[in-house]
A and B are shown apart, each in its own frame.
Chain A
């Protein structure tokens, strides 16, 4: 028996801890909250769509979740409104607020935190009007229209924060600046990438409609900026979206904006 005791010791290795496999589909919630000064606290919570019809979802009902949000360390439970929206209408978001949310979902606690950034400083625009000649592709014989100077937006950014410029036509039925042909008319808002500098140039050809445009400069946090990287899943590489949310996905971030108007004329 003595000579076999050695073997028994060896077999102990085999009895090391076992790790159970995680479920194939992680039903972690999708959180979406843009917290902006002057607005009430509200968080949107949804579920992911599983690819497999056999994927198992958690038992939790979104509407029954107990979502807590702490403002500068003081925690309150949000009220469920509808369609996954939770809110607290008693508190208005302010600059510099430190906000944290958490709720239990499945076996884990979903949580995230953000700080409300400062308002953009010294937002200015190179021109208050932009004259664009209407362009008709069927009238090429008369020559290409003259291209005006681009619009330059600038602000102060001593700390290298991320900023996002959003341009929106606020007219009800704006007249197009070009012939869209058979294509669908573009949105009234156009999308730009976040920048880390203190200027942004809007090329004239970006404007698809005439009329008043609202130019909104958002001071944003890094986590929101990262979202723009992650939309690049291709067949070459499936990117895992970055998120600041623990046990969940999506975005929980503070933003702060300033606005200018620009008139686009013919």
Chain B
């Protein structure tokens, strides 16, 4: 009965369509005829395309009609009745004539024509159909050609219908060849509708998934309890994926890939097990093993679509921006790939993104370097492809020196880090640069209101990959705003204030960075890579004054110049050789050079000539810091008995650090040239106990520093216990030493600055810290919760200050090198995190309660709040995905940082009867800046490109860029950066120097693939 109605409806529609087609002459129908090949060639033919609904998208089922002998394509089109069947209204029709050539040639010509017309067909071959009206063609003929594989269903006008799989649908009643449309019976129509039935997209995907997961291999396992080793790679670019989690699905046991993407997984139950690979930005990938897979050099390619590769099937799913779970204690991982989802000032910035996490301060807009758990940025070790980067700020710290286009993976260890890292008291940021697309050339670029950038990925052969990324600022809206923000003070306090007008004569300020990585894989076991990191800020805020007319009229001549040139940056390079000796032994050796330089010349000079009298003005400061680090290190990882991993290594660094500070033309107040070397070794292990529920990682690091001629031992230990599958307890302890420190040069009136210096064991002792950390985490399907508590005990921290007179007379100014003050301190805190990992709405809430205190004898016996001390910090990050849009909002609230200010004044009468005014300051850091808060919003629109991929919503398009709109500090909160004090005629003038107000930004990024 139902069928009857359906048939009736169909007939009705058919009649309607026929009437429509009769009313419209064939020329009025929207068919188009094309030529294939050149006239005179054997396969020269003309074919006609027609879509009843006038949509020529490739994403629709297609019926190719092979016409009867003697008809051209237009005639085949005119005679065809299929196009009038309502079920095929959304289909595409291609009409081809049957050429007057031998049959095999005829088939061959159709093959090439079909290859051409259905190339990159986007809807799967299941939806490609062939209707053959040339009765000279037999099914046996088709079987000899590739046409049988190209179409899912082939229907002969008088023969059986054959499916791609070879099944035959018996045609009970042969369809008569006829040019008469009415000759198609209802049954025939019904059969045709059934034969050419469109397979829905969702079903296609499911079929593909099932086929790949279950049909590829469903035989018995052949190998049991074996060791599997290999590499995890990006399936599109071939980039190795470092620190990805590789686990066995059935028992949850797993390992992490190393920094080159290699892994060794012991005790895999069988060669039909499923391996899960979890990598941020790629979600969870399923790799189903088969007996034929290689047990070593096994490649898992992570791409967001099921593919078949090297006998493994992988499937990607959920994507994340940040990951806390499945990592060690106090560890956060963020993916540079997803950074554009977050609001930004001018550049997507990995360091800023980390600052949104608990335990990392977010209220220091002027520092890209991270304040982690009460530590200062210099206490955070930053390694880039294995070598150390000493300075990460661009443009007064508002942007980090890391170009996201060149980064692959970044991890932050907030404390309790393992023995292979050293030389820092607080934390480690481990950055791994991209190697570049291993498969094909790629190029891309981005443009924002701050800067522009370009990158190119150039593979050469199968063994060489390279990437070069360049970025440069331009003096646009954002640059100028920040630049002026920093330089306002100098503009107003100088002679520019008042009735003189300043004339800006130089405007050459800019920053740039250039990253390059060149990777050569001479064998499957070796990787040799050369990585280069270079960036410079060139800030010129000089200006000059000319004599204004009203002064010139009075015979006064003015010639005044302010030179204010700052140049700082890094040049670092490292050559790394990694070798996988066998599935148990892996080594990694790096030689590197890292240079940080900073020079600031600030000179006010000039003369005022009046009444033949010349008054010269000449004052200024000169500050120069140059750090050179020559390093060598070699790490070896050995997998012992499956459940114990041993890691050890040797390292050595030679430092050459110069610093000088001078005022005006005098001898430098401080002029240090320090050389020193550190050599050492470390050993650490990781063992799994209690059925792998307990993981203990003890380690010992030993260093010798020639500056003090002493050995330093650093025992460390971390442990994690899975109480249940969801609840884990983690703890860590560690001793840490730091030999090269960035010392703060305290300046109450103009804002403090800092400089790198090498410990000398005397005025600048080797600083040390002990970490105690404990935490709980609760990890469920879509959410992650954690709470961590830490205590950090600091000794021998150093600060430099000129506000204390060295106690000697003028002329002996070099004694200012005595003005290093040492103290001790501690930092303690509680961090709470709640994260929604997956879903349309994701994000996290974080709260940090902390206290960082120091005690320096020079400031008294009492502990005082360290400069970076923030008591409460709350951060909320919300992300939303809607089709091609990503929306995000971040809100940061933190209580104010401490500061010191002038508090009072008094006079002392001298022996000559004159008197002098003196100023006192508050006790150290006893004042607090106002609370800091701001809201940022962003919207990001993905630029997509269609590709030939199949089966998945996200895979048949490829993201090739994005357009982002960002609003920084949306409600324009005035956040204080620091206070400046100027003494004029015995008066103190306080100026609040503020952070950035509301700042919109537009950014566009694009890449070829």
Q: A interface vs B, CB < 8 Å? A: 3, 6-7, 10-11, 13-14, 16, 19, 21-26, 28, 30, 32, 34, 46-52, 55, 162, 164, 166, 168, 187, 189-194, 196, 216, 218, 220, 222, 224-231, 233-242, 249-251, 255
The answer, among A22, A34, A194, A239, for a CB contact under 8 Å with B809, is: A194
Q: Does B40 contact A (CB under 8 A)?
A: no
A236 touches B621 (CB 8 A): yes
CB closest residue in chain A, given B830: A14
Q: Does B923 contact A (CB under 8 A)?
A: yes
Q: Does B749 contact A (CB under 8 A)?
A: yes
CB closest residue in chain B, given A22: B923
Which residues of B (858-873) have their CB < 8 Å from a CB of A?
A: 862-865
Q: A48-B905, A51-B905, A233-B983 are in contact. Are A239 and B911 (CB under 8 A)?
A: no
A178 shortest CB reach to chain B, Å: 14
Ordered by A's residue number, 16 sampled pairs between the chains whose C-beta atoms are within 8 Å are A3-B729, A13-B791, A13-B828, A16-B828, A32-B909, A48-B906, A51-B904, A162-B809, A164-B911, A166-B911, A187-B914, A229-B805, A230-B916, A231-B918, A233-B749, A236-B663
- A50 / chain B contacts, CB cutoff of 8 Å: 903-904
A-B CB pair tally, cutoff 8 Å: 174
CB closest residue in chain A, given B749: A238
B810 touches A193 (CB 8 A): yes
- A7 / chain B contacts, CB cutoff of 8 Å: 774, 776
A215 shortest CB reach to chain B, Å: 12
Given A235-B750, A239-B803, 7 additional A-B pairs, CB 8 A? A10-B772, A19-B853, A19-B864, A24-B927, A26-B922, A229-B810, A237-B803
Q: A6-B774, A230-B805 are in contact. Are A241 and B920 (CB under 8 A)?
A: yes
Q: A218-B911, A236-B663 are in contact. Are A25 and B862 (CB under 8 A)?
A: no
Q: How far is the CA of A228 from the CA of B377 in the complex (A)?
A: 37
B810 touches A32 (CB 8 A): no
A241 touches B918 (CB 8 A): yes
- A241 / chain B contacts, CB cutoff of 8 Å: 805, 918-920
CB closest residue in chain A, given B748: A238
- A236 / chain B contacts, CB cutoff of 8 Å: 621, 663, 747, 749-750
- B203 / chain A contacts, CB cutoff of 8 Å: none
User: Contact string, B781-825, partner A, CB cutoff 8 A, digits 1/0?
Assistant: 000000001110000000000111101011000000000000000
The answer, among A13, A164, A190, A242, for a CB contact under 8 Å with B805, is: A242
- A49 / chain B contacts, CB cutoff of 8 Å: 904-906
The answer, among A16, A23, A216, A251, for a CB contact under 8 Å with B926, is: A23
Q: How far is the CA of A171 from the CA of B826 in the complex (A)?
A: 64
Q: A14-B830, A25-B904, A32-B909 are in contact. Are A249 and B918 (CB under 8 A)?
A: yes
B903 touches A13 (CB 8 A): no
User: Contact string, B896-911, partner A, CB cutoff 8 A, digits 1/0?
Assistant: 0000011111111111
Q: Does B493 contact A (CB under 8 A)?
A: yes
Q: How far is the CA of A242 from the CA of B918 in the complex (A)?
A: 10
Q: Does B893 contact A (CB under 8 A)?
A: no
Q: A22-B862, A51-B988 are in contact. Are A238 and B803 (CB under 8 A)?
A: yes
- A224 / chain B contacts, CB cutoff of 8 Å: 911
Q: A22-B923, A25-B922, A51-B988 are in contact. Are A32 and B908 (CB under 8 A)?
A: yes
Q: Does B981 contact A (CB under 8 A)?
A: yes
B802 touches A237 (CB 8 A): yes
A180 shortest CB reach to chain B, Å: 14
The answer, among A3, A189, A196, A216, for a CB contact under 8 Å with B914, is: A189
B910 shortest CB reach to chain A, Å: 7
B911 touches A235 (CB 8 A): no
The answer, among B805, B810, B904, B919, for a CB contact under 8 Å with A238, is: B919
Q: Does B912 contact A (CB under 8 A)?
A: yes
5 pairs of A and B residues whose beta carbons are closest in the complex: A22-B923, A10-B774, A13-B791, A48-B904, A241-B918
- B922 / chain A contacts, CB cutoff of 8 Å: 22, 24-26
Q: Does B310 contact A (CB under 8 A)?
A: no
A191 touches B826 (CB 8 A): no
A24 touches B911 (CB 8 A): no
Q: Does B921 contact A (CB under 8 A)?
A: yes
- A233 / chain B contacts, CB cutoff of 8 Å: 749, 918-919, 983
Q: How far is the CA of A49 from the CA of B790 in the complex (A)?
A: 43
Which residues of B (81-106) have their CB < 8 Å from a CB of A?
A: none
B809 touches A240 (CB 8 A): no
Which residues of B (162-215) have their CB < 8 Å from a CB of A?
A: none
CB closest residue in chain A, given B664: A236
A250 shortest CB reach to chain B, Å: 6
Q: A191-B914, A251-B908 are in contact. Are A238 and B926 (CB under 8 A)?
A: no
Q: How far is the CA of A140 from the CA of B163 in the complex (A)?
A: 119
B923 touches A26 (CB 8 A): yes
- A225 / chain B contacts, CB cutoff of 8 Å: 809
Q: Does B982 contact A (CB under 8 A)?
A: yes
Q: A237-B802, A238-B921, A242-B807 are in contact. Are A191 and B750 (CB under 8 A)?
A: no
Q: How far is the CA of A70 from the CA of B864 in the complex (A)?
A: 35
CB closest residue in chain A, given B803: A240
CB closest residue in chain B, given A162: B809
A13 shortest CB reach to chain B, Å: 4
B36 shortest CB reach to chain A, Å: 75
Q: Does B112 contact A (CB under 8 A)?
A: no
- A193 / chain B contacts, CB cutoff of 8 Å: 810
- B29 / chain A contacts, CB cutoff of 8 Å: none
The answer, among A21, A189, A218, A234, for a CB contact under 8 Å with B865, is: A21
- A250 / chain B contacts, CB cutoff of 8 Å: 906, 908
A165 shortest CB reach to chain B, Å: 9
Q: How far is the CA of A111 from the CA of B826 in the complex (A)?
A: 32
- A16 / chain B contacts, CB cutoff of 8 Å: 791, 826, 828
